[in-house]
Homo-oligomer: A and B are copies of this chain.
Amino acid sequence: MVVLDGELRNAEALRRHLPRTVRLHALPPPPQPGGAAAAGELPAHVAAWLLSAAPGLQALAQELRALHAARLAALQAAPAAALASLWWPFTQHDDVALADVGLVDGRHGDALLMHDPRAETLRPMVDACASWWTQGVDAATQPALVRAIGHAAGRYGHVMFPENAHAPALQLAERLLAGPGAGWASRVFYSDNGSTATEIALKMALRLHAQRSAPPPGAPPPRVLALAGSYHGDTLGAACAGAPSVFNAPLQAPWYSPRAVIVEPPGAAVSALGGWHVSLPAWLPPARLAPSQLHFHCRGALFDPARDASPLGVAYRAHLRGVLAHSAGEEGLGAIGAAIVEPVLHGASGMHFVDPQFQRAMAQVCSSASVPLIADEVFSGLWRLGAPSACQLLGVQPDVACYAKLLTGGTVPLAATLASEAVFDAFRGAGRQQALLHGHSYSAHAVGCAAAVEAMDALADAARNGNRLGGEGPPRLRELWDPRGVQQLAALPAVSRLVCIGTVLAAELAAPAEGRRAHAARDVVRHLRAHGIFARPLGNVVYLMVTPMAPPETCARLLHALLQELCAEPEGAKEARERSVVC
């Protein structure tokens, strides 16, 4: 604070009352207006004031220089401090060099403000991994989220939840039940992240099944029907619902017990020749189908409910009925007590687009067999794929569904497990032991609920979210990725699989040739930094992800940069550009 201080000696008084963290500088009172000066010279009264203010101004300049130097020093020291004290998730620390450590000094909508140690400056980078798939709002909406968070923090802090209610928790429940839960869900159970939301969902669905099927005491633990390549979280229960993988191998999860009956799903991707094609799993030889059955003129055609009656729809259901029947007869193994899916797009395993008809078939077969269906929409829900819920795209109503990530618009952890009244009823009855005895201390914390209410409202409102289609029909986002660019990408030899839907565009890179492209995705991602784009590889997949409110120019810029990087251009040009990479 700078005070132009006269006889009143305000500076002295202020110094006594202000906290010590406020630095106060006193300068002489401003000069009285005086005469004009000769050309190129200061007016005499200004020159006199500057002379009298010189010691104060010098002290102020010194302090500002010191503050700036301290800030620069802190930025410079941060990567080493990070390497010495942090333990990052999913990271082999031995592979992270000092220069690899990104230092984030702020965010503005889709842009991360990152420190560039070589240029000693801050540089905006497009957050093309949406900060681990959490980011929901644009720069214009960010302040509204901050206000909602500040208000809730000041008014409620956190409030014990069981048997209590507060306005943010109720308002969010209302929105979730009217949005992704419309038509089937009646209950909201809050927790902290996708993994806990899934553990809760499993307990819910398995209880409903147990109540319906009344297994004899001592029956082996129930299993779940799940799809190869799906991912439901890292806590043990969520991990046990997944297929065996490096993530739950004994080295990582010594207590993992496989509880899932895994089915390989058919995939879908943009065809290099235009349209989309379905690729079949090993259990369904393509010879049994006409090629036209596997080609679709657009992505929307994959979601057509009329496909229920197609030969593929019939084959899917027959196979799934067979899996259920076979697993029921496996001695010593539990019955299938629930099914769990990531609807439409398998995120963590590499952005695999599942043929929507197959997940529709799963819902139909499970419903007939009274096997509750869990939709793990932690990744795919809340406008990620262009709709409030990925199940709505499928035309499927689950019994239980999980939401997290985008829920708070990309600010604080919060998760919600939605359930139908039939699921809720399975926990009612005499005594507490019948209740769902699961909880986390910050259940339904007001800050997260308030942020989520604001985020859900902004995303759904066409007046605030430029991507939200208005008019009649189900709530949807416009197509975010330019179809010509998408088609160009799909046709590149470097791309072996391309999918795009909603906020996600992902390119799987062609298999390594002569060992040269073993780290192809990592290299592409590194090259994208020169374009001011912060992306992360996912195995051999490069994906771009924006917020559901991303302006069209952001999507165009990302798509263009990826096209540039994946086009066959002389290696030399690429190398030269890479040398200019500063971050």
Bound together, the chains give a CA A469 to CA B95 distance in angstroms of 45
Which of A189-197, A303-311, A354-362, A479-487 interfaces with chain B?
Answer: A189-197
- The listed residue (B106, B154, B195, B237) touching A146 by CB distance below 8 A is B154
Asked whether, in the complex, the Cβ of A157 is within 8 Å of the Cβ of B135, the reply is yes
Bound together, the chains give a CA A432 to CA B538 distance in angstroms of 13
Which of A31-39, A48-56, A163-171 interfaces with chain B?
Answer: A163-171
A325 in the interface, Cβ–Cβ < 8 Å? Answer: no
Asked whether, in the complex, the Cβ of A437 is within 8 Å of the Cβ of B187, the reply is no
A367 in the interface, Cβ–Cβ < 8 Å? Answer: no
Bound together, the chains give a CA A439 to CA B231 distance in angstroms of 12
Bound together, the chains give a CA A378 to CA B210 distance in angstroms of 33
Query: Contacts A87-B187, A410-B158 given: A432-B254 contact, CB under 8 Å?
Result: no
Measured CB to CB, the closest approach of chain B to A406, in angstroms, equals 10
Asked whether, in the complex, the Cβ of A203 is within 8 Å of the Cβ of B170, the reply is no
A217 and chain B: residue at smallest CB distance: B250
A324 in the interface, Cβ–Cβ < 8 Å? Answer: no
Inside 8 A of A405's CB, which chain B residues have their CB? 441
Interface centre among A74, A89, A150, A154 (most CB of B within 10 A): A89
Asked whether, in the complex, the Cβ of A146 is within 8 Å of the Cβ of B156, the reply is no
Asked whether, in the complex, the Cβ of B167 is within 8 Å of the Cβ of A154, the reply is no
Query: Contacts A405-B441, A441-B134, A441-B193 given: A162-B429 contact, CB under 8 Å?
Result: no
Query: Contacts A86-B188, A156-B106 given: A193-B442 contact, CB under 8 Å?
Result: yes
Bound together, the chains give a CA A94 to CA B425 distance in angstroms of 10
Asked whether, in the complex, the Cβ of A413 is within 8 Å of the Cβ of B438, the reply is no
A81 and chain B: residue at smallest CB distance: B170
A326 in the interface, Cβ–Cβ < 8 Å? Answer: no
Measured CB to CB, the closest approach of chain B to A244, in angstroms, equals 13
Asked whether, in the complex, the Cβ of A92 is within 8 Å of the Cβ of B158, the reply is no
Asked whether, in the complex, the Cβ of A246 is within 8 Å of the Cβ of B93, the reply is no
Query: Contacts A150-B153, A156-B104, A445-B411 given: A438-B163 contact, CB under 8 Å?
Result: no
Inside 8 A of A157's CB, which chain B residues have their CB? 107, 131, 135, 142, 145, 409-411
Inside 8 A of A254's CB, which chain B residues have their CB? 203, 206, 210, 221-222, 337
A536 and chain B: residue at smallest CB distance: B160
A532 in the interface, Cβ–Cβ < 8 Å? Answer: no
Asked whether, in the complex, the Cβ of B162 is within 8 Å of the Cβ of A246, the reply is no
Asked whether, in the complex, the Cβ of A89 is within 8 Å of the Cβ of B135, the reply is no
Asked whether, in the complex, the Cβ of B251 is within 8 Å of the Cβ of A428, the reply is no
A424 in the interface, Cβ–Cβ < 8 Å? Answer: yes
Asked whether, in the complex, the Cβ of A259 is within 8 Å of the Cβ of B255, the reply is yes
Asked whether, in the complex, the Cβ of B93 is within 8 Å of the Cβ of A428, the reply is yes
Inside 8 A of A82's CB, which chain B residues have their CB? 165, 169-170
Asked whether, in the complex, the Cβ of A188 is within 8 Å of the Cβ of B87, the reply is yes
Query: Contacts A412-B412, A441-B132 given: A167-B74 contact, CB under 8 Å?
Result: yes
* A 233-255 binary contact with B (CB < 8 Å = 1; else 0): 01111101000001101111111
**Interface size grouping (class) on chain A:** 35 or more
A555 in the interface, Cβ–Cβ < 8 Å? Answer: no
- The listed residue (B94, B131, B431, B433) touching A430 by CB distance below 8 A is B94
A159 in the interface, Cβ–Cβ < 8 Å? Answer: yes
Measured CB to CB, the closest approach of chain B to A444, in angstroms, equals 8
A500 in the interface, Cβ–Cβ < 8 Å? Answer: no
A173 in the interface, Cβ–Cβ < 8 Å? Answer: yes
A132 and chain B: residue at smallest CB distance: B441
Interface centre among A195, A238, A254, A444 (most CB of B within 10 A): A254
- The listed residue (B87, B90, B170) touching A78 by CB distance below 8 A is B170
* A 85-105 binary contact with B (CB < 8 Å = 1; else 0): 111111111111000111111
A296 in the interface, Cβ–Cβ < 8 Å? Answer: no
A184 in the interface, Cβ–Cβ < 8 Å? Answer: no
Asked whether, in the complex, the Cβ of B174 is within 8 Å of the Cβ of A445, the reply is no
Bound together, the chains give a CA A134 to CA B156 distance in angstroms of 13
Asked whether, in the complex, the Cβ of A103 is within 8 Å of the Cβ of B203, the reply is no
Bound together, the chains give a CA A420 to CA B186 distance in angstroms of 46
* A 364-395 binary contact with B (CB < 8 Å = 1; else 0): 00000000000000000000000000000000
A405 and chain B: residue at smallest CB distance: B441
A508 in the interface, Cβ–Cβ < 8 Å? Answer: no
* Interface of chain A residues 7 through 62 with chain B (CB within 8 A): none
Inside 8 A of A435's CB, which chain B residues have their CB? 90-93
A317 in the interface, Cβ–Cβ < 8 Å? Answer: no
Bound together, the chains give a CA A440 to CA B158 distance in angstroms of 21
Inside 8 A of A433's CB, which chain B residues have their CB? 246, 249, 251-252
Since A85-B186, A203-B253, A235-B237 are in contact, a sample of 4 more A-B pairs with Cβ atoms closer than 8 Å, ordered by chain A residue number, is A149-B150, A158-B410, A221-B254, A236-B240
Closest 7 CB pairs of A and B: A89-B439, A236-B237, A82-B165, A413-B442, A150-B150, A235-B235, A131-B160
11 A-B pairs with CB atoms under 8 Å apart are A92-B431, A93-B427, A105-B167, A157-B409, A157-B410, A192-B413, A195-B196, A199-B236, A234-B438, A413-B441, A413-B448
Which residues of A does B touch, CB under 8 Å?
74, 78-79, 81-82, 84-96, 100-107, 112, 127, 129, 131-135, 142-143, 145-146, 149-150, 153-167, 169-170, 173-174, 177, 186-189, 192-196, 199, 202-203, 206-207, 210, 221-222, 234-238, 240, 246-247, 249-255, 257, 259, 337, 404-405, 409-414, 419, 424, 427-445, 447-448, 451, 536
